[in-house]
Structure 1
Amino acid sequence: MGYLTTHVLDTAQGMPGQGIKIEVFRIKGSEREALKTVTTNDDGRCDSPILEGDEFTVGEYELVFHAGDYLRGQGFKADEPRFLDVIPLRFSVSNASEHYHVPLLVSPYSYSTYRGS
């Protein structure tokens, strides 16, 4: 059975992104269906899979990372509005029986992601 996980890494400080709020959406055409909101733990991960079982199906999803709140809390000085604040990552699941790991590597001025396992 497949499932979805994430991991946030603060590349500016070389540490996990702790306490970051992540909103989870399913995309159907032009509609966004809110599924849940999770928060990263001390290791920058969620305590359990974000989606699994019947919740995790073939289709398009969006993870919305509230990185600006985290960066403010870390004391990064930046002009307001910040260059990066809320980061949406939209991706597709083609095989819901696989593990989709969608990490976020973030700093005050850049981010990247990839599909891990």
Structure 2
Amino acid sequence: MSLSTHVLNAATGRPAADLPVRLEAEVGTVLAQGRTDADGRIKDLPAPAAGVHRLIFETGDLSPFYPSVTIAFTVTDPAQHYHVPLLLSPYSFSTYRGS
């Protein structure tokens, strides 16, 4: 299993580089933290076990309304790859399960 994320600044159409991101277990234990690369990606997050996890994006520099965005997701098959992207604009955001 592997886990990755990608953040796109939808207002500019550009990747959100150097954005702080943290991976937490359901109980709040921090499993990893890092910053997006120049392409807005973190490709090498540790593979979490089955269960509920959260990616927390510190978005305050990109959004005057959302200081952070939390995406909770469930790992059902630890052998699969999970990609959790974030599309962010100043007053909205969306996500989906990527490939």
Distance 2:82 2:21 in 1: 16
Q: How far has the Cα of 1:22 moved from its partner?
A: 0.4
Number of corresponding residues: 99
Q: How far has the Cα of 1:60 moved from its partner?
A: 0.6
Percent identity between the aligned chains?
Answer: 39
Superposed, which structure 2 residues align to 1:9-88 within 5 Å? Answer: 9-27=8-26, 31-46=27-42, 48-52=43-47, 56-69=48-61, 71=62, 82-88=64-70
Q: How far has the Cα of 1:57 moved from its partner?
A: 1.0
**Which ranges of 4 or more aligned residues in structure 1 deviate by more than 6 Å?**
none
**Structure 2: gaps (5+ residues):** none
TM-score (norm 1): 0.80
Q: Which has the higher helix share?
A: 1
The Cα RMSD (Å) is 1.2
Distance 1:22 1:37 in 2: 6
Deviations 1:70-95 (A, max 9, x none): x17xxxxxxxxx32111111110000
Deviations 1:24-81 (A, max 9, x none): 1011xxx2111121100100002x42123xxx21011000000112x17xxxxxxxxx
